[in-house]
Amino acid sequence: MEILKLNQIPLLKENEMIIPLFTLESLLLPGDEMVMRVFEPRYKQMLDDITLDNLAYGHVMSNPAMPDINGWLVPYDVGTLVQVNDLEEQGTNLLYGAKGGERFRILSLIEPALKPEPFDAIFPSVNELMGQYIEQAPSGKLYVRAVIEIIPELKGIIEPVKWESLLALWRTYIENIAEINEMDVDEFDIDNEIKNMFPNPDNDAIWKIASLIIDSIEDQIQALKTIDINELSSIIESSIQKKLNMIRLFRQSNE
């Protein structure tokens, strides 16, 4: 992955854009949601920049195998675009809802204007930090940015038989979890619950079930890179099978 200095930002091609990156210890699949709490100056600056023009940022996960960039963590090369919803202040923190949107691939990273500093519990203001670089680098930012390209929507369709098989496998997993937790599965209409959650085998449904099931980093990264809907379906199926195998091992160890 290419690392760009502030004076090396290229002219963008038609399918490219520059976005801020929010680097975390988890990924956000398309359609998945989480509540975010921001207190660091770099991300407060990011929110200021994007909320004024209703822009998106990139939710990415740090990659421990990569060297840092100007002291900051380097992410994996895929992520999801996020629009900020219901932004509010809570003391010195900013709270908002994040929902994973389109997938993207990072082409190059743009380093921040300043190296990270240990601020302990008290953070300086965004303006204080900007004062340290604004004259030398007026286009600089406290956060990492990236030149990206959007990954197209999934191609293809899932055959009804394969879709029903996937949901049946998911049902089996739910029943196993219920039994382990000594819950009476007869009290729940699992079939109707699943059908209500996933009425049609479209892109929204496949990503929704993916966000519920795929929990390993490797599988999530692979899922974000998929091109065909059946490829993503296979990753989901494999993830459920892994969970079922873990349940079998758990039961065997307790016999």
Model confidence pLDDT, tens digit, residues 5-44: 888 888 898 889 999 999 999 999 999 999 999 999 999 9
pLDDT of residue 92: 87
This prediction's pTM:
0.89
What percent of the chain lies above the pLDDT cut of 70?
A: 97
- pLDDT grade for 188, boundaries at 50, 70 and 90: low
223: number of Cβ within 10 Å: 25
Task: Supply the CATH classification number for the domain 2-150.
Answer: 2.30.130.40
Q: How far apart are CA 143 and CA 163, in angstroms?
A: 41
Mean pLDDT for 217-230 is: 95
* pLDDT over 80 at 183, yes or no: no
CA-wise closest residue to 41 among 126, 133, 114, 128: 126
Helix 217-224 to helix 229-253 angle (10° resolution) is: 170
**pLDDT tens by residue, 97-150:** 999 999 999 999 999 999 887 777 788 999 999 999 999 999 999 999 999 999
pLDDT band at 253 (very low <50, low <70, confident <90, very high): confident
pLDDT at 69: 73
- Quote the pLDDT of residue 187: 58
Question: Is residue 190 scored above 80 in pLDDT?
Answer: no
58-85 residue pLDDT tens: 999 999 888 877 677 889 999 999 999 9
Which class for 170: exposed (0-12), middle (13-18), buried (19 or more C-beta within 10 A)?
buried
pLDDT tens sequence across 168-177: 898 888 888 8
The domains of the chain are located at 2-150, 160-253
pLDDT at 199: 81
CA torsion, ordered 54, 60, 62, 63, to nearest 10 deg:
-140
CA distance linking residue 71 with residue 115, whole number of Å: 6
- pLDDT for 95 equals 95
Q: How far apart, in Å, are the Cα atoms of 90 and each of 30, 94, 120, 156, 168?
A: 27, 6, 20, 44, 44
First-to-last CA distance in the chain? 49
Q: What pLDDT digit, counting tens, does each position of 86-97 carry?
A: 999 998 899 999
pLDDT of residue 186: 64
